[in-house]
Amino acid sequence: MIGLGKMGGNMARRLRAKGFEVVGFNLDASATEVLAKEAGLIAADSIEALLAKLDPPRCVWLMLPAGESTEATIEQLRALLQPGDILVDGANSNYKDSIRRGRQLAEAGILFVDAGVSGGVWGLENGYALMVGATDAAFARIQPMIEALAPATDRGWVHAGPVGSGHYVKMIHNGIEYGLMQAYAEGFALLRGKEEFKLDLAAIAESWRHGSVVRSWLLDLTADVLAADQELAEVEPFVADSGEGRWTAMEGIEQGIPTPVMSLALMARFGSQGQQDYSSKLLAMMRQQFGGHAVRSHKPDTDA
């Protein structure tokens, strides 16, 4: 396992708990040391050392940030791995990059697997949802690990199809997630806005968790948040986007398939990041120009 952060570290822990021998490498050696002491992970201080500790044919699983880190590490491994070795990318990589990487590695006889992984920090305890793109031969070799990482051997995972399909399915999964999260957020904002009813949002969320058609794990998490703090006064209204929501929206455009909910949820995240500040200012000035509407001024704080 290369990359022992929140996801990679817990995946290594789960594999160890299921009886797998795991060799690990992380740029920050302290993470490797913790897992070695805590879970019996075999520590390596470099990628070369990690490969030397594995018997061929080897399986190397990357849990690195998508983009440059993953690209650079795959390029490094392409020169170090041998024909018959398997390289799994568990990051949220663009499926088009995965198809390209699969073809390049196949030229060297290296089997490439793209694995979409969902479950976050709860995956260690509950298991991970895994969406895997691979040849039948490659998947057969890693299936025991997939079953160990999943919630159960017979559920929570899917061999989606050929290389690229795993990250494609995960991309769509995250697009749906954007839409669900936005719907919950907007609904609870409307409930909070009806001040004359003095609604208890935590109680409402808890009631919806049982029997309602809108119950879900996301609602469970929302209920936990509201039970602890309904005001959220200390939370900055900034929502990051990892990239997969953008790719999903672009996929809809490329296929000519309407995806208004997922696309608007993405736009809402952009709005939270200050991306609509200038357009909102310009809208206010337009209203002033044609209707004489007042414009609120904002003066930055200055030292007295």
Q: How would DSSP label each residue in 166-224?
A: HHHHHHHHHHHHHHHHHHHHHHHHHHHH-GGG---HHHHHHHHTTT-TT--HHHHHHHH
Q: Read off the amino acid at residue 34.
A: V
Catalytic entry in 33, 53, 71, 177 = 177
First vs last C-alpha separation in the chain: 55
8 A C-beta contact, residue 96 and residue 69: no
Do 145 and 201 reside in the same domain of the chain?
no
Six-digit token pair at 57? Answer: 């044919």
pTM above 0.85, yes or no: yes
Residues 155 and 177 in one domain: no
Give the pLDDT confidence score for residue 278 in this predicted structure. 81
279 occurs within a structural domain? no
Whether the Cβ atoms of residue 35 and residue 9 lie closer than 8 Å to each other: yes
**Residue 154 sits in the same domain as residue 41:** yes
Shared domain for 56 and 151, answered yes or no, is: yes
Same domain, 77 and 152: yes
Shared-domain flag, residues 153 and 182: no
**Peptide bond preceding 57 in cis form (omega within 30 of 0):** yes
Residue 300: inside a domain: no
Annotation marks residue 281 as catalytic: no
pLDDT score for 17: 97
Q: Looking at the domain assignment, is residue 296 inside a domain?
A: no
Pair (182, 151) in one structural domain: no
- Among candidate residues 147, 170, 244, 251, the one labeled active-site is 170
Query: Which positions of the chain have pLDDT values less than 50?
Result: 302-304
| 170 annotated active-site | yes
Domain of residue 130 covers: 6-162
The answer to whether residues 126 and 206 belong to one domain is no
* Integer Rg of the chain from CA: 23
